Chain A
Amino acid sequence: MGDNGAAPGTRDVVTTVLGFARTLRHAGVAASPDRVEAMLDAVGHLDVLDPSAVYWAGRLTLCGSPDDLDRYDAAFAAYFGGEAPRPRRASGAEQPRVAQTASLGTGEGSEEGGEPSDLATRASGEEVLRHRDVAELTLPEREQLRRLFALLVPAAPMRASRRRSPSAHGSIHRARTVRRALRDGGEITRLAHHRARPRPRKVVLLVDVSGSMSPYADALLRFAHAAVRARPASTEVFTIGTRLTRVTRELRLRDPDRALAASGSAIPDWSGGTRIGEVLKAFLDRWGQRGTARGAVVVVCSDGWERGGADLLAEQMARLQRLAHAVVWVNPHKGRDGYEPLTAGMVAALPSVDHFVAGHSLAAFEELAGVMTRA
């Protein structure tokens, strides 16, 4: 244990663990009180004076996802003043990293409460969003559009499932039939039926937030928010630009403006360049292939301005189409008269796209919602 590590006394152990948990929270790991309690319990079962036992006791109880692990290692090294006993992870597969939660780098939230100051991140998020050029709308117009977006409820596409529910028709539900017969003294008087219950199909939205898309990013995220609000469990939203960011959690906030502010602060690459191919690959490697894109309706919202190689994009789009139930590409420029998909990115992507639609106005979004439902 480092110089300021745990001394044998129980109270010291508690103090040390609480202090460590605080450090960890500042590093962005949500070490909730019940988890900290679990760590104390775990430490009690192990050798308190063995740094590696303390390391594992904390890691096993305080972390909850692979994204927490690096932060945990850093916090452990900082707090206990020693190198984490875990060998460095050799995998390059996790790159580029995904920001899972709201950004934590405000540096202000060092009070007792521990949580990265919510207000600070929200304010900075609003700041970011305020500088978005939301096309050429006047303020009242924009206000009105926002209200309309709040009313937009994209219906989820449905799929068949293994789950069945009672129904007047369909196949015979043997268990229910016999259960009813038991009540009637063993006489089968009526057959009970059930049939497959359709379930919402997964929807994944990939929103391009690079510089060329900035006039539309706000509208697209509002659309994404409406989709998440309609089906929180089966909708996932990621932003793509120079890197991949999962913003589903932020968009689950009820109020659209707060949700957008929160996701704004989680997105590190607003108005940067675009490397769709690379970021799409990151999405497929980390999420898509594992199940997020499998059988889902995947909506890519981008103008197809690709700075990276178009070959990689074509390859990844083909991969995406094999995984997904349907691939929808939304391009705001498609709404313009005389638009031809000529950018290298669009040319590369189009062969693997099932539906190519516009996304520049509310009407276009309503149409998009229809395409998604029928996909």
Chain B
Amino acid sequence: MSQPTLPADPAALGTALEGTGYLPDEGLATAAYLALVMHRPLFLEGEAGVGKTALARALAEVTGRPLYRLQCYEGLEASHALYDWDFGRQLLHLRAAEAAGTAERTEDLEASLYDRRFLLARPLLQALEDSPSVLLVDEVDRADDEFEAFLLEVLSDFTISIPELGTVRAETPPLVVLTSNRTREVHDALKRRCLYHWLEHPDFEREVAILRRRLPDVTETLARQVARATAQLRTLDLLKPPGVAEAMDWATALHALGARELDPDVAARTLGAVLKYREDTDRVHALARGALFGG
């Protein structure tokens, strides 16, 4: 794969990201640039739906690197993140060797069992083997403390040692993006290894630009109205304020219904695309609908 040359400064990276349809502000562009040149993981925190995961995808596209994604969950273990041996195939191999009578010396047979082809690489190992790559460790706040400590070790020296095979070291460390919704406090030791960025909802103009860019069929008017209404919803102290992702869903839903403008009636019908709690919907309905979604 031919590697595009890396952007020379944050502004250049920002422009490149815009080319993929991801519109970062100055802070995020600087964060991504520094992660790239300092070889430090980028730790992104912020409300759900502000575009944390999407950034990793956009960065993979810009740098022309493959993207590996590790979704974290409670109980995630090293064997799910690093590698595992394909025991079934190993057993099959053993039986086949026996049946064929080719089993010469025991050591040879044993060594052949731990061949690379019986190794199942999981995202962390894949990202190192395939480096330079982009590694997305999604929702790291969901994993437990043990896994965090393990991750810290891998992200510190970007090496993984496999007892039967040897050490895998990344020539160029992968560009690592960790995301967290802040459901719990991630350990400080892990954060210290990373660049820390708190991602906010985009401002009005940027949100309009994002909507226009990602949904070219949606009219300018509709995009502006959706962005304005979404921004207003965010000020209402809802249980789940809508993110960019929800604004995009909303615009898509409106567009699918053939709406060219946001009027109270069509807004009420599509509210399920933006609001995800009954309490929130009730609340918005109770407020003057006309005032909220008026032209």
Cβ of B75 and Cβ of A60 under 8 Å apart?
no
Q: A56-B26, A66-B45, A233-B145 are in contact. List 7 more A-B contacts (CB 8 A).
A: A42-B38, A45-B37, A64-B191, A66-B182, A91-B200, A175-B87, A290-B183
**Contact surface of A with B, Cβ cutoff 8 Å:** 32, 34-35, 38, 41-42, 45-47, 52-53, 56-57, 59-61, 63-66, 69, 85-87, 89-93, 161-163, 174-175, 178-179, 181-182, 185-186, 233, 285, 289-292, 294, 319
Residues in A whose Cβ lies below 8 Å from that of B30 = 46, 53, 56-57, 60
- Do A292 and B184 contact each other (CB < 8 Å), given the known contacts A57-B30, A174-B87, A182-B87? yes
Q: Is B31 among interface residues, defined by CB-CB distance under 8 A?
A: yes
Q: How far is the CA of A289 from the CA of B277 in the complex (A)?
A: 12
Residue of B nearest to A174 (CB): B87
Q: How far is the CA of A61 from the CA of B91 in the complex (A)?
A: 49
Residues in A whose Cβ lies below 8 Å from that of B87 = 174-175, 178-179, 182
Cβ of B26 and Cβ of A186 under 8 Å apart?
no
Q: How far is the CA of A162 from the CA of B73 in the complex (A)?
A: 10
CB of B84 to closest CB in A, whole Å: 7
Partner of A56, one of B27, B77, B200, B203: B27
Cβ of A91 and Cβ of B90 under 8 Å apart?
no
CB of B212 to closest CB in A, whole Å: 21
- Do A64 and B239 contact each other (CB < 8 Å), given the known contacts A57-B34, A178-B87? no
Residues in A whose Cβ lies below 8 Å from that of B195 = 38, 42, 60-61
Cβ contacts B93-104/A at 8 Å (1 or 0 each):
011001000000
Cβ of A91 and Cβ of B40 under 8 Å apart?
no
Cβ of A64 and Cβ of B192 under 8 Å apart?
yes
**Contact surface of B with A, Cβ cutoff 8 Å:** 9-10, 26-27, 30-31, 33-34, 37-38, 40, 45, 73-75, 77, 84-85, 87-88, 90-91, 94-95, 98, 113, 141-142, 145, 181-185, 188, 191-192, 195-198, 200, 203, 234-235, 237, 239, 241
Cβ of B9 and Cβ of A292 under 8 Å apart?
no
Residue of A nearest to B42 (CB): A60
Residues in B whose Cβ lies below 8 Å from that of A163 = 75, 77
Q: How far is the CA of A289 from the CA of B280 in the complex (A)?
A: 14
Partner of B196, one of A63, A182, A233: A63
Residue of A46, A64, A66 with most chain B CB atoms under a 10 A cut-off: A64
